Amino acid sequence: QDEAVGVELGELGIFSTDGEGKRCFVDRKSDEEQPILYKTLSLSQLNLWHTCPIHGRHYILHPCSLTLHLRQNTTLDCTVHPQFSLSSSLTSLNFVVTRRQLLLSRSLTPPPQPRPLFPEHRPTTRPTKSPKLWWRYALISIGRLTRRRSWPAFISSLRTRSRYLSLYTRARYSTPGHPLSAKKDDYDYVPPSPPLPPGKQGV
């Protein structure tokens, strides 16, 4: 007998109820207004099991039952009752995984694919075709791992940061007389002062 994993569900039910939780039929086509609707979802004897030739059948998730109650307010006024209200009831929850079951789950799942280091700097060509780019990629990766960067990379990052702060400041405090554009004085841009209130302006 081979190993097997299975899921069992004793009963599944979705039905409408009244305010006391009793099953009822709701006619949505009738002219009578129904401001509050009640729905119930019931799961009974839900379990997850595993069988093996040596130990037989064991539960990973022991049988449990779950009940969800939904109350919907169909009116536009949500001051008294919220539009949706959800309550739940769970009898018990027992989850046990043995070492054998853990190894079986690992064998069923595909191994994670290795992610390249710093893919934004990784060349798209082969190392035999572009060895210079790959040497540059290796130096950048080592520098980022050891938190050491070359002076040209540091100066480039500093300029990019200054450029970003300048453009953000100009976009935040821009006025019709000072439109947002690329100029040489972007790094020295100072946001304009807010206008003074009437009666306190200088002469």
Higher-confidence position of 19 and 184:
19
Mean pLDDT of all residues in 117-146: 87
| 189 has pLDDT over 60 | no
Share of the chain above pLDDT 70, in %: 82
Pick from 43-47, 139-143, 184-188: least confident: 184-188
Mean residue pLDDT across the chain: 78
Residue 8: the pLDDT is 92
At position 101, the amino acid (one-letter code) is: Q
| 141 has pLDDT over 80 | yes
Phi first, then psi, for residue 186 (nearest 5°) are -65, -35
Q: 142 to each of 90, 116, 117, 139, 148, how far by Cα in Å?
A: 52, 14, 10, 5, 8
Cα separation, 173 vs 198, in Å, equals: 21
Residue 202: the pLDDT is 46
Exposure string of 174-194, with b = 16+ CB inside 10 Å and e = fewer, is beeeeeeeeeeebeebeeeee
Mean pLDDT of all residues in 90-109: 79
Mean pLDDT of all residues in 179-202: 50
| 27 has pLDDT over 60 | yes
| 54 has pLDDT over 80 | no
Give the pLDDT band of residue 145 (cuts 50, 70, 90): confident
| 88 has pLDDT over 70 | yes
Secondary structure, 3-state, 135-149? HHHHHHHHHHHCCCC
Share of the chain above pLDDT 90, in %: 14
| 143 has pLDDT over 70 | yes
| 138 has pLDDT over 80 | yes
Residue found by looking up tokens 């780019």 in the block: 133
Mean pLDDT of all residues in 126-137: 90
Q: What's the pTM value of the predicted model, to 2 decimals?
A: 0.44
